[in-house]
Every structure is written in C-alpha cells, then in structure tokens.
A = this chain, B = another copy of it.
Amino acid sequence: MTYQLYYWTGIQGRGEFVRLALEDAGADYTDVARVDGDDAMQPFLEGDRKGAHPFAPPFLTSGDLVVAQVANILHFLGPRLDLVPEGEAARLQALQLQLTIADFVTEIHDSHHPIASAEYYEDQKDPAKRRAADLRQHRLPKFLGYFEQVVDRGNGHALGAHSYVDLSLFQIVRGLDYAYPNAMQALAPKIPQLRALEARIAARPNIAAYLASERRLAFNTNGIFRHYPELDGGITDDA
C-alpha cells in the first residue's frame, strides 16, 4: 500500500509525528509537498477533492481516503503498520495518549505564539515570556510527569509494547531538548523512563537511518518547537 503524506515543506512540524510512524514501519510513502510544492495541498484544503475535507495539514491519502489530524492519521495507520497493540481497548488507549500529546504540542507551540499564530513572534514576545515561564514551571512537569508514569506502568512503553505513541514521545523529548534545553536539564532526574525510551527509539534501525537521512529536517525557529534563549529560563525550585 502506498501512502501520500501532505505537509508544509521546510519544517518538521506536526507532520513529523506521522513521518516517524511511516519511517519506522518502512512504509511506502510519498512526502507530496516536498516533491510538488506546498500548492499541491490547496485543492484538498479548499474542499475541492472527494473524501474528507481537511481543515489543515498534515493529511494523508490512501486510495480514495483522505485522513486529516495527526491523532486520526496515526489511529488509521496503527493497525496497518503494526504500530499499535491489538484490540479495541489498546487502540482507544493509544488514541487517548496521542490526543494528550496533541494537547501538549499545542501548549508548546503557544508558548512562543500566545496571541496569534499568524503574527510574528517578535510582536508577542512579552506575553510569550509569561506563557513560556508557565510552561516551564508548571506544564512541562505536569505533562512529562504524566507520560513518565505511563511509560513506567507500561514497562518502558506507553502501551506495554512498541507503538506509534512511543515514536511520538521520542519526538516530544527531542523537540523539547532543542527548544527548552535548560528546562529539560532541570527535569532530567524526573524523567528517566522517557529518556531511556528516547534512546531506544533512536536506536531502532529504520529510525536511525531516517534521522541520518536528508529527509529528517533540523529543528528550526519556524516549527512547533522553537529555541529562543529568552524563553528558556530554566525551572525554579518550587516547581
């Protein structure tokens, strides 16, 4: 089965959570906009194509099917790529965890864009400093602490066995290492299981090959995870 992934060129962004699943499974896929340009997404976004109408990238096509929203795409791909344990309970649990990751991703994004996605960071720098301080002090410990507990209960996996959720947690840890290195250093003693999971995922042959390839773009300050030193003030003791 061939899949077509549609996502903005130039950044990892939300598309990367899907890309990691396709790469880990060795799936046959085309990263369409990287071949044909971002304009290739327009007919879908304008609702001019058959099938579901995506609100925004990323979306995936497979035959006549159009599947949008990261968690929905991974819910669709999971059984097909053998990236989710069998059974309804496990699939619902995977979807719930992925949705919690999606909420976390939005909070991480909004730490540099608390006012408006479409405005420049420079024009919302002061509120960004306040929101990033709250992210570092309260939200990172809460979300990462939760996922640490989940992975601890799952014997080193979110779901007790390898899944697309583990791949997404890898991406979260890597992205935060880039964007908030001081905060992540302060939190290191509290997330040994997540750190071990990150190392195991990076060592998976298909992921290692992908990370070494040109297909893996570098993190940069156009994506979701952005490193602005003025936002990475570390964490104080009362966290």
Contact = CB atoms under 8 A, between A and B. Distances in A.
Given A68-B96, A76-B92, A96-B72, A47 B131 contact: no
B146 A134 contact: no
A89 interface: yes
Interface string A106-125: 10001000111011000010
Interface residues of A, number: 41
A113 to B, nearest CB: 10
A138 interface: yes
A4 interface: no
Main secondary structure of the interface of A (DSSP, over half): helix
B119 A150 contact: no
A92 B114 contact: no
B99 A115 contact: no
A100 interface: yes
B153 A47 contact: yes
A215 interface: no
Interface string A41-71: 0000001000111110000000001011101
A72 B99 contact: yes
Given A52-B92, A110-B110, A114-B114, 10 more contacts: A53-B149, A65-B89, A65-B92, A69-B99, A72-B99, A75-B95, A106-B106, A115-B127, A116-B130, A118-B134
Nearest 9 Cβ contacts at the A-B interface:
A116-B134, A69-B99, A52-B93, A127-B127, A55-B100, A114-B114, A69-B96, A72-B96, A115-B130
Interface of A: 47, 51-55, 65, 67-69, 71-72, 75-76, 89, 92-93, 95-96, 99-100, 102-103, 106, 110, 114-116, 118-119, 124, 127, 130-131, 134, 138, 143, 146, 149-150, 153
